[in-house]
Amino acid sequence: MESNSVSPMPEQNSQAPMAEFDKTPPTPPEDTLPMEDLPPPPTTVTVQEEKEKEAQAEIHRHYEDENEWSCGSWLEYTVVVVLASVLLLGSLGLTLFWVFQYRGGFAWRENPAKQFNLHPVLMVAGFITFSGFSVLLYRICRCCRRIYVKLLHTVFHALAIPCVAIGFLAVLDSHNLAQPPIPNFYSLHSWIGLVTMGLFAIQFVVGFFSFLILLCCEGATAGFRSALVPIHASFGLTTFMLAIAASVSGLTEKALFSLPDTYSQWIEEGIVINALGVSLIALGILVSFAVRSPTLKAGSKVDVSDRI
């Protein structure tokens, strides 16, 4: 750090060893030491003994660190978990409400317009609700063993797969069965959606293979798996953000297609669509915060990367 520059930024890396140093139990000044308690005088304590002492203090400190969790941290944890759960379930609930209240509910094949309604509901269920809970599991499950968290992470993402697949088929079918048929894959929404689905599939396959199948040769693959974690976490969060971008553009499309004259008149359905978009964006901010928060991460059993 330059001497004449003013830094409000904590230089965490460079200060870490000093901070560790500062935390060692303070040694009383030499003249006040009860000499009879110390077989060799303090100036002749061997390096070996000192290192052993430090190592013991280190172990004790880490043990304390793992169990210590301040009131503020618990508050942050509770607020994030409750708010995220409300938004994740609320978004799905709002989508269902929108579709049933204003769009006539579901159908398959016999009514392309109603078949389309499966698209937003299943995509929000798969890409937002299931995937969001799957990501948040690493924050919510603080007391579980890591392998259980991993399995739950896989199960939630596996549940998202049929949702996304049927949601995709629903929109394809509804376009193709419409009279006249509606073209596919021309809009910005569809482009973002395709990229999101591709990234989701790659993430699932690579994650499943690397973090579950490769456990069969645990020791040999530890380095590889460890190196893959930040990449998997970064691409996971990117997929979630892309899903939100796809939702926002999709909701805008649907509002303009379905309410061409009334959207601008502040009708109820328009406000419901906007509220859904806003809650999805709020979710993006909250999940991103939860994944990266050092407070939430500090006490958890699993670290997720710092990179996006």
Distance between CA atoms of 164 and 230, rounded to whole angstroms? 25
Cα–Cα distance between 96 and 94 in angstroms, integer? Answer: 5
Q: What is the dihedral of CA 151, 210, 283, 161, to 10 degrees?
A: -70
Cβ at position 60, least distance to a copy of itself in Å: 13
- Residues 177 to 196 in contact with a copy of itself, rule: CB under 8 A: 182-183, 186-189, 191-192
Q: Which is nearer to a copy of itself, 34 or 223 (CB)?
A: 223
Q: Which of 47, 20, 45, 15 is nearest to 30 (CA)?
A: 45
User: Considering only CA atoms, which of 127, 146, 139, 151 is closest in space to residue 246?
Assistant: 127
- Nearer Cβ to a copy of itself (43/67): 43
Footprint (CB under 8 A) of a copy of itself, residues 41-70: 42-48, 50, 58, 62, 65
Nearest distance from C-beta of residue 132 to a copy of itself, angstroms: 15
Closest CB 162 distance from a copy of itself, rounded Å: 26
Closest CA to 303 of 217, 226, 240, 203: 226
**CA atoms within 13 A of residue 44's CA, in its CB half-sphere:** 5
Three-state secondary-structure class, residue 102: helix
| Identified binder of a copy of itself from the candidate list 146, 155, 158, 178, rule CB under 8 A | 146
For position 103 contacting a copy of itself by CB under 8 A, the verdict is no
Residue among 110 and 223 whose Cβ is closer to a copy of itself: 223
Residue closer to a copy of itself (CB basis): 107 or 297:
297
Site for a copy of itself in 202-261 (CB under 8 A): 210-211, 215, 218, 222, 225-226, 228-229, 234, 238, 241-242, 244-245, 248-249, 251-253, 255-257
Closest to a copy of itself by CB, 166 vs 252, is: 252
* Count of CB atoms situated within 10 Å of the CB of 201: 13
